[in-house]
Structure 1
Amino acid sequence: MRKMGIQKPKLSARREQLRVEQIPSDPETLRGIEVQNGDLRFTSGMQLATDDAVFTDCTFAEMDLSGASFVDTVFERCDFSNVEAGHADLLRCEFRNCKLTGANFDHSVVKHVRFEECDARYGSFSFSKLQAVQLEDSQFSESDFFECVLKDMKLSRSQLENANFRETDLAGVNLAGCTFERLEVTPSKIAACTVSKEQAIGFARMFGLLIHEES
């Protein structure tokens, strides 16, 4: 089966530039807008939804974004540290140079989403469905992908040290371009996963195999 490419956000040529104070305190769908240098934390706990939107240098840190819907949205240099975004829907989104340390996206649906130069250490996507998702030049060490459904996952030049992929089927996933010494996996679910020679040796040792050192 041919793999799908990652679709880019569909953005209109013209978007309304808003100052954060112009955003309503009970927003429904923020559509066709562009916000810079804004603190969105006043919307915490609301059913936040965006469509055809760009956020640059904005703060969402520690917000309650449970059930949020982000469609055709770009986040650049935004802070999502420790957000609670369980059961969120993300479609055709890009996170560029964003901080997502400790962010919780458990039980979410993530499709056609790209993380580029992001810091997502200690983040969690457990029990989520990730389709056509790319982690590029990003830090996902100590992150949690427990019991996820992965389809067309693309990983390149990213840190995955001690990330948790237990109970997640890694068939078809190429880990060779990522860096890690240890990865938490379920042995029965790593068949057909591509790894580098060094990573294969690490997995063998983790599973108790003895590596014969040639003289």
Structure 2
Amino acid sequence: MKIDKPKIPMGLTSASFQDVFSNEEPYLGSSVVESSIVESKQIEKVEFYQVVFRNVTFTDVSFRKIELTDVIFENCDLSNVQLIEGSLHRVEFIDCKLIGLNLSDSTLKNVLFTNCNLNLSGFGYGNLKQVSFLTCSLQNADFYECTFSKVQFQQCEINDANFTGTPLKGIDLSSSTFQRLTVAVEDLRGCEVSVEQAVGFATLLGLKIKD
């Protein structure tokens, strides 16, 4: 599946998170923020454009209605960060700790998660288009009543993930592992699963499979 990569120019300026407040509106662009801690920040409608965050830890942070365009997070910790009603376009999360990350009511387009820990993360009521999860842990993740379009789960751990109210037609779960999912039978129509997974779903439906 084709995911448009962030458009990051050469020669980014080194910046600190405090530079966000140097503008009339909270904004940071064409910069790299490295090896720092951002804590106890509650900002609404902050915008990041062409920014690379590398080895940054966010603690007790809420960025409601955030706008991320052409942004990369490398080896960052955004555990329990609140990004409710966010807009993410051409964003990559690489080797990040995202436990409990809250992206409820957000729009994600051309977003890539690679080798990330997304356990207990929340995407409820989100609109995900051209989003790829590669070798990620998504245990107990919440995808309640999401809209999926070209969403990929490749070699992920999705045990106990919640897909209630989210149609999975065209979604390929065959390379991912789970013991149990929360999903309605009608939302499984058109979902691609492995033979072993199909047997598991049949068991959940109360079917008895004979050899």
| TM-score normalized by the length of structure 1 | 0.93
Give the Å deviation of 1:112.
0.3
Mapped partners of 1:153, 1:83: distance in 2: 23
Which amino acid letter does the alignment assign opposite residue 165 of structure 2? Answer: E
1:25 Cα deviation after fit: 6.7
Q: Distance in 1 between matches of 2:48 and 2:70?
A: 8
- Aligned position for 1:54: 52
How many Å separate the matches in 2 of 1:62 and 1:151?
31
Equivalent position to 2:121, from 120, 123, 131: 123
Which one has a larger percent strand, Structure 1 or Structure 2? Answer: 2
Give the Cα separation in 2 of the matches to 1:206 and 1:74.
40
Q: Distance in 2 between matches of 1:168 and 1:62?
A: 30
Q: Give the match for residue 205 of structure 1.
A: 203
**Structure 1 counterpart of 2:13, one-letter code:** E
- Which one-letter code corresponds to 1:17 in the other structure? S
Say yes or no: does 1:14 pair with 2:39.
Answer: no
1:169 aligns with 2:167: yes
Count, aligned residues: 210
The residue correspondences of 1:185-204 to structure 2 (distance < 5 A) are 185-204=183-202
Match for 1:112: what amino acid? N
Percent of residue pairs bearing the same amino acid type: 31
Structure 1: 5+ residue stretches without partners: none
Q: 1:198 and 1:42 mapped to 2: Cα distance?
A: 46
Q: 3-state DSSP class of the match of 2:198?
A: helix
Number of the residue aligned with 2:32: 34
1:72 is matched with which residue?
Answer: 70
In the TM superposition, what is the alpha-carbon distance from 1:30 to its structure 2 partner? Answer: 0.6
Residue aligning to 2:84:
86
Read off the aligned partner of 1:57 and give its amino acid letter: N
Q: Please, which moves more after superposition, 48-57 or 13-22?
A: 13-22
Letter in 2 for 1:31: G
1:157 is aligned, of 143, 155, 158, to 155
* Secondary structure of 2:93's aligned partner: strand
Unaligned 5+ segments in structure 2 are: none
**Structure 1 position 194, deviation (Å):** 0.4
SS at match of 1:72: strand
What TM-score do you get using the length of structure 2 for normalisation? Answer: 0.94
Instruction: Please name the residue that 2:178 is paired with.
Output: 180
Between 42-51 and 19-28, report the one with greater CA deviation: 19-28
Deviating more after overlay: 55-64 vs 111-120 = 55-64
